[in-house]
Chains A and B, each alone.
Chain A
Amino acid sequence: MTHSSSAPLASLARIGKTYGDGDTEVVALADADLSINPGEILLIEGPSGSGKTTLISILGLLLKPSRGSVFVGGRDVTALPERALPKIRAETFGFVFQGFNLFPALTALENVALAIRMKGGRHPEHEARRLLAAVGLETRMHHLPANLSGGQKQRVAIARALGGNPPIILGDEPTAALDTKTALGVMDLLRTLATEQGRAVVVVTHDPRLERFADRVARVEDGRVIAIDTLAHAA
């Protein structure tokens, strides 16, 4: 299912992250290597506190690593100043969260359009309509989040993440708040985005049911990526 022959969209090389120093030093991540390929779904699994969130935060350029290098589109962005990162994030990453993080006062259309506008995108309303239609919400565009189901809210969040056409979607437990049927529906949508549009989807999860949609699973424990398994159905 992956476009594995293409160059990685992003990669982490020997990434380490420590918080505090001396007696209070905590190693959140050590020597982590990871590459993100176009068209694949990569799950990051591991117990709570294992370093999953740190890993995805560094990958999404939201957190600076203590050691190692972060590459985006083949370019080493590790040492770039903070002010240079929002533009790279806007062009490269879309984010989806467990809690949806939608403005309750804005309709689905306005939530998506706002994100596109704030990224500096053109024709935000038109683009938002197209993206909401693409995630199957053409009839719910003018509904407030309170009037949408959990699955619909997550589809709005996915449409918002697609604003600006980023090649990588990062999901932090995007199905954790959803029932099984809805969760599988959301993953099906992400699978379609990966397969048909060549986007990479990286999902942090505890949920083994999602593995059927994934190409690879990175297993994280005690701050180390202990294994990266290519799943049989993806091989």
Chain B
Amino acid sequence: MWNLARKILLHDRIKFAVAAAGVSISVMLVLVQIGLYLGFMQNASNLIDHSHADVWVMGEGNENFDFAGPIDERAYYKVASTPGVARAERMILAFGQYRLADGGQQGVQVVGLEPGGRLLTPWHVVAGDPARIHEPGKIAVDTSEFGKLKIDAIGARREISGARAEVVALTKGIRSFTTSPFVFTNLDSARAYTNFPADKLTYVLVQAEPGVDPAALARDLDALPHLDAYTTPQLSIRARHYWSSRTGVGAGFFTTAALGIIVGLVVVGQILYNGTLEHLREYGTLKAMGARNSAIVRVILYQAIISAVVGFVFGGGLAVLSRLAMTKANLTVLLTPNLVAVTAVLTLVMCCAASMLSVIKVLRLDPASVFKG
């Protein structure tokens, strides 16, 4: 029956090509849009997810991870002395102005880290020594940001907010959600680059003592005055949720993906319905001769499934090509196995749903109609 469904579907190759193109575009839109969204969300919680902290402490009421307000350095000591805390490290996250070689300016997101800190360090290091960022005026940047920073190698010397900065280490694939390049450095340099007051910081990263539940520790730390505390997974979700829901970014991507599905539905539905109309007399003849409705419906559903499989393969290929092109434009399209699997199921459901008009037409087809000329 599969073979027969395939032959009926492929008989008019141009129509089939249009149907397959419709599904392919739909699949590509879904994969690329959701992949881009996942890529952005990955960037939104990049620092959090790559930390070794159990709990993050910050100023009370901060909604956005990237724009958190400063807290007093005394908070660090309160946190460090809280029972259950094995280790606490200070961190500054703020924006500075990077002076380009041609005299222009580029906003950067400065990450100031505790000297000798272990809870957050630059990762995916591809060149240089990341430990050297704890020397005054030394920084680590990502190779993907070379274009924005207008540098092309380790050792480049620039200024950030008027203070000297020398690139001593390079990472690969660390991007921020804000699109301002991350600059990893030590706490003192970070203060200089961001005009941060000497007794202020942004976060305290906490490692719990062995056997201490991070969630319970977070609750204890959250009880400290003027501070909020979240476990690392909680903060990761919070950071993603802010950008996704508070800014409309999520709605934008998902709306485009939904439009892709609608395009696929309409194109496949139209092609399958036309094909069914063209073969109505043949289906009617089969019904007249006693063919069960389920058998005829199966032929139509098989055609929908074949369209889905072909469209998914081509659409998936297009999505991979798009990912390659977008990587060159510094955009991350995360095509995770889960996303691919869900999109495959979605494509099948979409094509089967698109065939429903045809199925209804055939179910309602009066076999006596074949006698009516």
Q: Within the complex, which residue of B279, B291, B367, B371 is in contact with A118, where a contact is CB–CB below 8 Å?
A: B291
Q: Within the complex, which residue of B1, B279, B288, B289 is in contact with A103, where a contact is CB–CB below 8 Å?
A: B279
B226 close to A (CB within 8 Å): no
**Which of B279, B291, B371 counts the most chain A CB atoms within 10 A?**
B371
Q: Which residues of A contact B281 (CB under 8 A)?
A: 97, 99, 101
Cα distance A160–B371 when bound, in Å?
17
Cα distance A104–B7 when bound, in Å?
10
Interface size on A, residues (CB 8 A): 35
Q: Interface code B350-373, partner A: CB below 8 Å = 1, 0 otherwise?
A: 000000000000000011101110
A182 close to B (CB within 8 Å): no
Q: Interface code A69-95, partner B: CB below 8 Å = 1, 0 otherwise?
A: 000000000000000001111110111
A152 close to B (CB within 8 Å): no
Cα distance A104–B278 when bound, in Å?
10
Give B contacts to A, CB under 8 Å.
1, 4, 7-8, 10-11, 279, 281-282, 284-292, 295-296, 366-368, 370-372
Evaluate contact between A118 and B292: CB separation under 8 angstroms.
yes
Contacts A/B (CB < 8 Å), 22 sampled: A53-B371, A57-B371, A62-B367, A62-B371, A88-B290, A95-B288, A95-B289, A97-B285, A101-B281, A101-B282, A101-B285, A101-B370, A103-B279, A105-B10, A106-B4, A106-B7, A114-B286, A118-B296, A120-B292, A120-B295, A160-B289, A164-B290
Evaluate contact between B289 and A89: CB separation under 8 angstroms.
yes
Interface positions of A from 110 to 156, Cβ below 8 Å from B: 110, 114-115, 117-120
Q: Which residues of B contact A108 (CB under 8 A)?
A: none
Evaluate contact between B368 and A63: CB separation under 8 angstroms.
yes
Q: Which residues of A contact B295 (CB under 8 A)?
A: 117-118, 120
Task: Report, nearest first, the 6 A-B pairs whose CB atoms are least far apart.
Answer: A90-B290, A105-B11, A118-B291, A62-B368, A89-B290, A101-B285
Q: Which residues of B contact A119 (CB under 8 A)?
A: 289-291
A145 to chain B, nearest CB (A): 10
Closest residue of chain A to B293 (Cβ to Cβ) is A86
Cα distance A105–B7 when bound, in Å?
6
B300 to chain A, nearest CB (A): 13
Cα distance A90–B286 when bound, in Å?
9
A60 close to B (CB within 8 Å): yes
Closest residue of chain B to A92 (Cβ to Cβ) is B290
